[in-house]
Amino acid sequence: MGVTQGSGPVTARLRTIGVALPALVVATALALASSLGLPGCSWLDPGESVTVLGDSITALGGPVMDEQLGPRYALEVDGQFGATVADRLPAARDLAAGAPDQVVLNLGTNDVVHGGDLTDSVRNLDAMVALFADARCVHVVTVNTNVTLDGESFPSRAEQLNRAIEALPAAHPNVDVVRWDQMQQAAVDAGGSPTALTTDGVHPTDEGQRLLVAAYGDALRKCPRKQQ
């Protein structure tokens, strides 16, 4: 997570516009769904915008998100290597100004492994979520409780941050939680090492990224539509 280039952190940002269906096809499909009394489907709405904000896990996962989510959503991915929650607050303010329909926040790993005050991290994460109060859904990702850096593990700090993440939906009605910690632990319980689904104890393997992004997709599809 702490990879740097030159004097500052590496930032990876990409913009992927979902495939736009012909207007007549969209209108016809929506009319048919309406006539049948079916709920709206995100694949019928090429204007559905999704912002993913994070650290190096997000930066490295850009190609997988482009592949799995890009055809369905207008996708913006903004990941910065080595970033804490506080580091990403300015970017969150900028991205919130664009009024995305849905948001994925995958932050906190650097807060856990670099020993900062997690009380500050929790306060900053709450403030970040509040910036996206107008989004239909904000999906906040938990931290891997088996995360390791230079041979050191941080289970109690990861669990502390995850408890705070789990409490966010009670304070913010548009928030739900994506359980990366449970996905990684399931791989460990199935016979993997403590670093299962990661290349180095921190960053997901190709399989880990696919599972994580699939979980994003599930959360995005389950987000309820606002009543007109």
Three-class SS state of 134: coil
Number of H helices, E strands in the chain: 9, 10
- Assess contact for 129 and 172: CB atoms under 8 A: yes
What's the pTM?
A: 0.82
63-81 confidence digits (pLDDT tens): 999 999 999 999 999 999 9
pLDDT band at 13 (very low <50, low <70, confident <90, very high): low
Give the number of other Cβ atoms within 10 Å of residue 28's Cβ.
Answer: 12
Rounded to 5°, the CA angle 28-37-31 comes to 15
**Domains of the chain by residue range:** 4-222
Nearest Cα residue to 151 out of 217, 213, 202: 202
Q: What count of Cα atoms within 13 Å lies in the side-chain half-sphere of residue 208?
A: 27
pLDDT band at 14 (very low <50, low <70, confident <90, very high): low
**What stretches of the chain adopt beta strand conformation (E)?**
4-5, 8-9, 11-16, 49-54, 74-80, 102-106, 137-141, 148-149, 152-153, 175-178
126-169 confidence digits (pLDDT tens): 999 999 999 999 999 999 999 999 999 999 999 999 999 999 99
- For domain 4-222, give the CATH superfamily: SGNH hydrolase (3.40.50.1110)
CA distance 215 to 219: 6
DSSP 69: T
